[in-house]
Amino acid sequence: MSLFRKKSLSAMLAHAEDSEKGLKRTLGAGNLIALGIGAIIGAGLFVRTAAAAGQTAGPAVTLSFVVAAIGCAFAGLCYAEFASMIPIAGSAYAYSYVTMGELIAWIIGWALIMEYALGAATVSIAWSEYLNKLFGGQIPYEWCHSPFESFTDSLGVHHAGIINAPALIILLLITLLLIKGSQESATVNAIIVFVKVAIVILFIAIGWQFIKPENHTPYLIPEGTAAVTDQAGKVIADYSGWNKHGWGGVLGGAAIVFFAFIGFDAVSTAAQEAKNPKRDMPIGILGSLVVCTVLYILFGHVLTGVANWKEFVDPEKGREASVAYVISTYMTGFGWLAKAVTIAILAGFSSVILVMLMGQSRIFYTMSNDGLIPKAFGELHPKFKTPYKANLILFVFVGLFAAFVPGHVAGDLTSFGTLFAFVLVSIGVWMLRVKSPEIERPFKAPLVPIVSTLGALICIAMIVGLDTNTLIAAFGWMAVGLVVYFGYSRSRSKLKNPSDIIPHASDFEKH
């Protein structure tokens, strides 16, 4: 049964309260909401909305947001309960270690790499695309695309990517900021979030008057819609699958835009740096989720109302810079807004990358303290008290993906990692309610087990709605994780040697 050995909740809390050895508590409720919004509003809104509309949902991408938001709401309530009860770094990984044991915790920790690390890679690729848009396409194609991407221009010249250099540069700059400190990072993020939200509201307000009702008819992609090919005859959109049209397309779209909601659970990774986590964590998680869901639905409605969803099928025309494209093409007299939106999006993407890298480094920090990954990931900077080595190692890993892997591949894998985490957190809340009902819960998710069950089922449904190739790649990644666990982590776990474990529960109770 050593595979399912569990960590002591009291011992974990005692370790988290050791201010001399642990992370610094510098974040308030406002910082946490801003962190959530900073992660939520980014690539998911400005890039994935158009991708979902063009590939699966059409104008009904707004319904895809509703489905995704419902699943997030159920999971968010469960996250809020855990985060207020177990206010330590590690998010779903730490929660699973307490409720389901080491093997499940390892599996979710490995899956979270897909969520945060690949999430950061995906957004840095989108950042590169928008930077090129701002410069009028002056960055050579070869230096802002991966080697797996190519296209033939109007003159018949073939271009193939070499490396995505801008994505690599922004990752380096944000890594250096994170090493400097959490409070400094949160301050920069708060400024960026204000600008980003203001631009989103501005686009919705101005774009509303340019909506054409005929673009919303039919609202669902009809069954039998013909596949779309590019100039070379390559199929770039096929609507024959069950999750590519109709209500199935809405579910498929939800799986795609779900990437847009990963921010609220990133808040939970900063629990150990919150000043008053029992009160502030639920506020940060649920507050950021509510604000962004409303903006998402309105944004999707305007985007597919101003331009027909079919225009977003072509990556070069719509999806790579869909908002700027729509403004410059259809919103006459507001050319300045396209430039402002592009600048704001660049800043917004930066905040998403910041929160994703922060979240992943904190998960690595916790896993390292548990002995499951090398000690270097858990070492704090002597002055800044940040896991600087984890940040640097993460930069190398994420940088390789950002520089050499197409954005849509990393993005879909990110959605899988997020959904998988949500499923286990939802199940974990119910399990802990049954096994340890006496534990203090500053925030309690309502209607458990109904809420937790629905959260798990909806997220499982969205996993099923993902592309088959994505699922194969994701399970392949999970298989690699099991090899690493049985080959390295299991024998080095601190739970295997009780004398190496952080303070015992009895020690905590004395405090």
pTM strictly above 0.85: no
**Model pLDDT for residues 302-333, shown as the tens digit of each residue:** 999 999 998 888 766 555 568 888 998 899 88
pLDDT in tens, 143-187: 888 888 887 777 778 888 899 999 999 999 999 999 987 677 778
Identify whether the C-beta of residue 123 lies closer than 8 Å to the C-beta of residue 352.
yes
Q: Across-strand partners of 237?
A: 228
So what's the pLDDT on residue 498?
Answer: 60
Q: What is the pLDDT of residues 430-451, one digit of tens each?
A: 988 998 888 888 889 999 999 9
**Residue 9 in this model has a pLDDT that exceeds 50:** yes
Task: Report whether pLDDT(89) > 80.
Answer: no
Q: Which helix (H) or strand (E) holds 255?
A: helix 246-257
Query: Mean of the pLDDT values across residues 371-390?
Result: 88
What value does the mean pLDDT take over residues 487-508? 64
The dihedral through the CA atoms of 340, 344, 347, 353 has a sign that is: negative
User: What is the reported pLDDT for 299?
Assistant: 94
Task: Give me the count of residues in the chain.
Answer: 511
Sequence-separated (6 or more) residues with CB below 8 Å from residue 295: 41, 45, 197, 200, 201, 204
Q: Are 421 and 108 in contact (CB under 8 A)?
A: yes
Mean pLDDT of 223-240: 79
Q: What is the rounded CA–CA span in Å between residue 459 and residue 67?
A: 10
Between the CA of residue 489 and those of 140, 246, 467, what are the distances in Å?
A: 43, 45, 31
Q: State the SS3 of 136-200.
A: CCCCCHHHECCCCCEEECCCCCEEECCCEHHHHHHHHHHHHHHHHCHHHHHHHHHHHHHHHHHHH
Amino acid making up residue 142: E
Print burial letters for 441-467: b (CB count within 10 Å at least 16), e (below 16).
bbbebeebbebbebbbebbbebbebbb
DSSP designation for 27: B
Q: For residue 203, what are its two tokens?
A: 């686009």
Q: Whose CA is closest to 420, among 120, 111, 119, 113?
A: 111
Q: Write out the CATH class of domain 2-151+160-505.
A: mainly alpha
The token duo for 478 is 């999970």
Q: What percent of the chain has pLDDT over 90?
A: 23
Spatial distance between the Cα atoms of 23 and 444, rounded to a whole number of angstroms: 26
- What pLDDT score was predicted for residue 497? 66
Q: How far apart (Å, rounded) are the C-alpha atoms in residues 289 and 85?
A: 20
Q: How far apart are CA 13 and CA 404, in angstroms?
A: 40
Q: What ranges do the domains of the chain cover?
A: 2-151+160-505
